Amino acid sequence: MEFSKVQSDGYASVDSAGSNDGGVCCCMAWRLSKPSQATISKHQLRALHVEIQSVRELVGATVIEVAATHGALQCKDSRHLAVSAEDTALRLGQLLLRWCSEQEPRLELAVGMHTGGLDVCHLPRGHKLYFGPALSGAVELADDASSSMCIKLRENTKAGLKLYEQLPYTLTGSDMYRFDPFVEGSQLHSCPQDVRWPSKRSSGRRKEEEMNNKVLDPGYLGVHEFGSWLERYGIDTSLFGRGEVQTLSQLHHEIMEEKKAVLVEVNGFLERRLEVVFVSIVAKSKEGHELVLRSAVDVTTDRRSLGIVVTVPFGSHWTDALRDRLASRFGLSREVQEELLPIEANWFKEEKKLTRSLPVMQTTYRTHKVRMRITKTSRKELQCISLPNMSTFAAHDLSHWAWVSWEAGAESSNQEVLTKLLQDNKINLSEWPHGSFSQLLTEVYDTQAATLQVVKHELIRHVRVIKVWLVTDILSVSHLLVTKSKDRPLSMCVEKGISWEQALENLLSLRLGLKEDFMKKSVMVDQSSYHLFEEIEYSLSYPGLKTVYRIHEVTCRVADPHAQLGLPDGNDFTVCRSGITTRYTWQPFKAHHSLIGRRTSFKKTLLGGKDLAELSLPSPKRQLPLPEPMVFAPGGDANCRLKDLMRGKETDWVRARHAAMHICDPEYSLKQFYEDCVASFPELALFTATENEMTSSGRSAADEYQRTLGALFAVYWLMRLHGDGLQSFVYGVGEDWKPLSAASVEPVRSAEDLKKRQAFYSKVDMGQIGKILVSAGLFQGGFCNGANDPERTLALLVLSAIHDIMKVTSLLPVVTEASGPFEKHKVGDVIYNHDTALGYILQYMPDVLPSYAGLPEEQKESVKFTQFDMEFNLGWLVQAEAPPGILFSRFKRIIRQGKAKSSDVALYLVHWLTDLAGAEPYPEEGAEKFVLKFPPQLFVSFLSSFHCVTFLSQKSETAVMEDYLCWRWAMNEPPLGPIPRGDGAIALMRLVVMAQGHCNAVLDAWKGLNAEDKEVLANELTRTARAEQFFELALKVEEGGPAFLVYYAPALMQKNCGLDPEGALIVLAEILRHARAIWPLQESAADDTVIIQIDVLKGFHIAELLDQPRPGECWVLKRQQNEINATVCKEPVPKEITPDRRPLCFEKARRNTHQRRTSCSSDAMVREQQSIEDDVG
């Protein structure tokens, strides 16, 4: 064993005798405080040691002792006489303490440094043990629990300082000093360049590190692949999305999509690097005061109003990113910026920290602080930032800005900003109640529970509220919890950044004092009851300030009694919080009891806890991650908005074609397909480009995005029907993306849900879909044996991805003079129909959508065809509800114009099918719209009608309709006999289709129907609404029109044909008779159709319908002002019959109903008498 003495330059001289002579060294020791040792996470601990390694390399120190929570380093003299070992130790400790202070949560560290002798004991295999006064003295100072976040040193150590000799030190004893690590001395900046230490690293050192550290570029990865890649570097991806930690999708979007940050491998660990620019724009007011531009409503985490913050994309220079941001936000061109907004000063700082939003890896922040000074405030180019007036204003991205005092502190600055914002929007603060201004100041800048925004020159306050209907069963009766004083359900404001689920937990905890374990076990949230809506009113607390309340409403059920809630007896109870006492009471909830009972399929535990299978409660519906929101500038040319949003966006054609080519491969999973689609089609992000969450469909933009993914999934499943497609179509996929089945344990589903899925899976023959897929050109050589056509498949994928983007109302186009009138829209009209709007984009702005623009011309024409306003309602055909003219005439006209082939018609129908299959916003759950909400026989009818429609390019509208009716008659079970011919044949076939399942009852009723009503039905239901077109199977009716479409006639038939089919036919005939009286036959109207709305009748049985009008009232058929529609409604009995209003007489139906009841009663008496005789016998 050998001993050596460590010299002051860091080298050791061998001394086998263990001599104590030799040089003097300086050691620095560190130790985490006990509170930090108890709370530090493994990620923070790893980051701490990475930082120690980094600063050790920076100053050239040697690790001589290391443990998880403490350690020591030996510091060396520099080759420059200006820097001693003591200077090096002080700088090392200073950098380390500064880093600890910046962490979230903050780390408490004690540092001691001491000069003295240092010996080393050399062990076998190169191991070393250090000991001596320098080490023990430094450890003793670091172990002092009375002080942390400072550097402790003795007088002999201080005497060795050269560079830092003149810094301020605090004397705490006869020879003990403390140094504040946040003090910086001028001596630092006068030392030689190659040993000068900036805030963290010199530029030369940083360049050297860039060469040594590996910038990682794994290529583009999907979200799940990205997570797997992170795990290979020891990152625990299970922590993403918990609490304040960002989701994996957010980090993926930042790294892979936006490229705002980059990942670097440092000493085997991943590190995130982010460059940010903080900008202060300064100008003088007319009074000569220096003002700075600040956000009017956005605040930082320390409650200070923000200036301009720019994130620098990786690979870009910070000045370019700054200029681009000012141009996009304020409309300041680069030329104007360089002339009028010169950079007066800038500072650079680099720091490392673990943040609350990303505690799994260390982040290096490269921060630029920039001051820009405007001297020529009167230039008109600066009016976009409210110069020279300096009033509050809105930028292009809807953010709001104010000029405030440069010298003002955070609190006074916020008051100044808010006051100016209110006064500039003509709100009189003198009318406000005492304390209201302070309350609003707290809402906006402290709790951030409210935001302010100027919309159409009016200041609007936005507040998010969570409202909870908390229910439970008391003596088998559903009760609701309300406040005793105001009779209102539970509610609370939601702070910024808090989801409604988190707000729900907070409300139950804060308002009712419920503990987490009770919520885990016993509080269920009815997921299907969640509803987001808005209420707008002027606030009583802030007179003159309009407020938009965005209310998250949800129903929760208390499953187990809790005395704290007055259960199980339903007693009133009181909760005291922060000096406020609230009394609650349980009230019967009769109006909602049945509704809540029907929602059990969506219940889930609020916070986890007990397994859902143990509770026998179905799992919540699943949704996929949303794309990053797109920001657009308000106002301006509406047609330019889409161009601005899509500028620079490109389709990943490699991945798109990969999806189209491999969609039928057994090895190509739905997960791979999903990731390819999301990466390929940039148009999917357009669902986030909305000023509010609602779209023209009435659903949220987030739901429309999920529905689009559902349509894409339906394409994937239908193309694989010969494999696992049908199983996934019916049951959905699990967390592993593999098909589920009736036996799957997760997700938990209700018995009714599984019953419907099993019925669909076993009863529905999907062979018809294969035929239509082949007709659409999606397969070559047959469905089962042939290969799919990649180009045609790609066209369908593109169509599915872009079809519904125009439901985002902020994207709706305006018809321009260049295009001229379009599809009944005049120049200057906004096209509100989302299909027509997309058709306009594809016709006149095709290059805006890169996925469409990149298709071959033939496929582009096919996609464009699907977006024409064909006025085609497949439901009308399936239920034989409409005459062929209104069903097919526009469809046929577009085909005649040469805009479509039969394969294009089939593609349109395939798209219609997949779009409806994904109509429920839960893509992973399967095609729930069809599987759970369509009766199997209706779904089969839809499929069957497709094949007939494809012949529209070859046959007349009437011939296609007749083929469909004959096919339905021939395929009916039980068989109906030969296809009817002659008088009333078409009417009878249409009535049979309308009745769905009551075919024989309709046939019997038709035979017994009186001649007058039969003639009306035969004539009116045989009209084609196409001049010179007639059904071949029926007698030719008198020429002329209009024809009639009785809207909801199938619903009326299906409701009544099981009990009173003849009564239903009589009511239908009466309506058609009076319709013809209002619209007499005219040859000029042979192509016209009048729509008669009978929705008020569809829910009644015939007997109920007859009893509805009160004395003095009657059912009336009334023509609408547009002359082409009519409606059935109840009105006072008219004194005289007018051409536009005809009273309906259903008395024949009443007599028929009475006769049927009498007949049924007689039959019942005979059966009862026979039963008695059998019993006696």
How far is 585 from 568, CA to CA, in rounded Å? 13
Residue 921 corresponds to which tokens in the numbers above?
């916003």
Q: CA angle, corner 298, sides to 287 and 646, nearest 5?
A: 110
Q: How many other CB atoms are found less than 10 A from the CB of residue 729?
A: 26
pLDDT tens digits along 185-216 = 444 444 443 344 434 443 344 444 444 455 66
Q: Between the CA atoms of 765, 769, 772 and 774, what dihedral angle is there, to the nearest 10 degrees?
A: -110
Question: Tokens 């007698």 identify what position?
Answer: 1035
3-state secondary structure (DSSP) of residue 530: strand
DSSP string, 1099-1135: TS-HHHHHH-SPTTEEEEEEE-TTSSEEEEEEEEPPS
In the predicted structure, residue 1062 carries a pLDDT above the cut 80:
yes
User: Closest Cα to residue 768, out of 641, 936, 933?
Assistant: 936
Contact 266, 257 (CB under 8 A): no
pLDDT tens digits along 35-58 = 888 888 888 888 888 888 878 877
* Most confident region among 694-708, 722-736, 773-787, 815-829 by mean pLDDT: 722-736
Q: What is the pLDDT at residue 436?
A: 81
The type of residue at 965 is L
pLDDT-wise least confident of 104-113, 868-877, 998-1007: 868-877
Q: What is the pLDDT at residue 608?
A: 40
How far is 982 from 778, CA to CA, in rounded Å? 41
How far is 279 from 341, CA to CA, in rounded Å? 11
Q: What is the pLDDT at residue 139?
A: 92
Pairing of strands 490-493, 400-405: unpaired
Residue 626's alpha-carbon distances to 226, 685, 706, in angstroms, are: 16, 8, 8
ω into residue 1042 within 30 of 0, thus cis? yes
Which residues are CB-neighbours of 51 under 8 A, at least 6 positions away? Answer: 96, 99, 352, 362
In the predicted structure, residue 683 carries a pLDDT above the cut 80:
yes
How far is 642 from 639, CA to CA, in rounded Å? 6
Q: What is the chain's mean pLDDT, rounded?
A: 79
Q: CA angle, corner 502, sides to 501 and 504, nearest 5?
A: 65
Q: What is the pLDDT at residue 701?
A: 82
Contact 1146, 1067 (CB under 8 A): yes
Contact 1097, 1127 (CB under 8 A): no
Q: How many other CB atoms are found less than 10 A from the CB of residue 438?
A: 10
ω into residue 821 within 30 of 0, thus cis? no
Q: How many other CB atoms are found less than 10 A from the CB of residue 568?
A: 15
How far is 840 from 812, CA to CA, in rounded Å? 10
pLDDT tens digits along 464-485 = 899 998 988 776 667 888 887 7
In the predicted structure, residue 1129 carries a pLDDT above the cut 70:
yes
How far is 117 from 159, CA to CA, in rounded Å? 16
Name the more confident of 887 and 504: 504
| pLDDT bucket at 1030, cuts 50 / 70 / 90 | very high
Question: Tokens 């104590």 identify what position?
Answer: 20
Strand (E) or helix (H) holding 991: helix 985-995
User: Closest Cα to residue 1017, out of 994, 988, 995, 975?
Assistant: 988
Q: CA angle, corner 649, sides to 644 and 652, nearest 5?
A: 160
User: Closest Cα to residue 504, out of 575, 557, 549?
Assistant: 557
Q: How many CA atoms lie within 13 A of 498 on its CB side?
A: 22
pLDDT tens digits along 341-363 = 988 887 777 777 777 778 778 88
Q: How many other CB atoms are found less than 10 A from the CB of residue 1083?
A: 10
Name the region of 303 (left: φ>0; alpha: ψ -120 to 50; beta: rest): left
ω into residue 543 within 30 of 0, thus cis? no
How far is 552 from 571, CA to CA, in rounded Å? 28
pLDDT tens digits along 493-548 = 888 777 888 889 889 988 888 888 888 778 888 877 788 887 887 777 888 888 88
Residue 509 corresponds to which tokens in the numbers above?
């905890």
How far is 801 from 516, CA to CA, in rounded Å? 42
Residue 1041's alpha-carbon distances to 475, 629, 726, 883, 1028, in angstroms, are: 63, 52, 46, 12, 11
ω into residue 747 within 30 of 0, thus cis? yes
Q: What is the mean pLDDT of residues 1137-1151?
A: 75
Q: What is the pLDDT at residue 694?
A: 62
* Most confident region among 692-701, 902-911, 1167-1176 by mean pLDDT: 902-911
pLDDT tens digits along 791-811 = 999 999 999 999 988 888 888
Q: What is the mean pLDDT of residues 1019-1048?
A: 90
Q: How many CA atoms lie within 13 A of 235 on its CB side?
A: 24
What number of helices (H) and strands (E) belong to the chain?
40, 36
Contact 30, 72 (CB under 8 A): yes
In the predicted structure, residue 671 carries a pLDDT above the cut 90:
yes
The burial class, CB within 10 Å (0-12 / 13-18 / 19+), for 1080 is exposed
Map 652-721 to HEC letters.
CHHHHHHHHHHCCCCCCCHHHHHHHHHHHCHHHHHHHCCCCCECCCCCEHHHHHHHHHHHHHHHHHHCCC
pLDDT tens digits along 599-617 = 333 333 343 433 333 334 5
User: Closest Cα to residue 1051, out of 805, 821, 828, 875?
Assistant: 875
3-state secondary structure (DSSP) of residue 614: helix
For the chain, helix, strand, coil in percent to 5 are: 40, 20, 35
Contact 279, 322 (CB under 8 A): yes
Q: What is the pLDDT at residue 926?
A: 93
Q: What is the pLDDT at residue 887?
A: 82
Name the more confident of 34 and 266: 34
Map 556-595 to HEC letters.
EEECCCCHHHCCCCCCCEEEEECCEEEEEEEEECHHHHHH
Q: What is the pLDDT at residue 899?
A: 61
Q: What is the pLDDT at residue 1154?
A: 46
User: Closest Cα to residue 358, out of 467, 235, 532, 449?
Assistant: 235
Q: Which alpha helices (DSSP H) does 20-168 contain, by range?
A: 34-39, 42-59, 85-101, 133-142, 155-158
| pLDDT bucket at 7, cuts 50 / 70 / 90 | low
Residue 876's alpha-carbon distances to 364, 584, 944, 961, 1049, in angstroms, are: 62, 52, 14, 11, 10
Contact 169, 157 (CB under 8 A): no
DSSP-assigned letter for residue 1048:
T
Q: Which residues pair with 395 in a beta bridge?
A: none
Contact 871, 886 (CB under 8 A): yes
How far is 1020 from 1072, CA to CA, in rounded Å? 7
In the predicted structure, residue 673 carries a pLDDT above the cut 90:
yes
Strands (E), 746-867: 779-780, 787-788
Q: Distance between the two ends of the chain, CA-based, in angstroms?
A: 118
Contact 227, 339 (CB under 8 A): no
